[in-house]
Amino acid sequence: MRPLLADTSWYLARPREEKAPLLELAELSQSRDIAVCGIIVAELGRRIRQPQALQRYIEAWQLIYYVPSNQRLWHNTLELTIEDMRSRYN
């Protein structure tokens, strides 16, 4: 089974639904691997305003699988987006 890679919007939606993202991930980790990637860390790092909260996230992210990325990965992602746009609008 592939690891669960929660995107930035998932992390941001949890508090609005009165749920704690890190607690939810801890529960989910009982049945599957959890992952994070650089863009999610960067996006959330800029949005978390409390230093103690950010530190908790950093500590949690250090315990889970980190998906490496490089320029090729982002290029492939862009290509998929372009293909999706073409199929929707052509």
* pLDDT 10s digits, 18-29: 999 999 999 999
Query: Residue 83 is encoded by which pair of tokens?
Result: 């293909």
Chain mean pLDDT for the chain = 90
pTM exceeding 0.85 = no
The whole-angstrom separation of Cα 29 and Cα 53 is: 20
Residue 69 has pLDDT above 90, yes or no: no
Rounded distance between C-alpha atoms, residue 6 and residue 75, angstroms: 21
**Which helix (H) or strand (E) element contains residue 37?**
strand 34-37
Token representation of residue 74 = 């982002």
> Domain-by-domain residue ranges, the chain?
4-89
pLDDT of residue 83: 86
Nearest alpha-carbon partner for 62 in 22, 17, 9, 15:
22
| pLDDT tens digit sequence for 22-48 | 999 999 999 999 999 988 998 999 899
Span 40-67, average pLDDT: 92
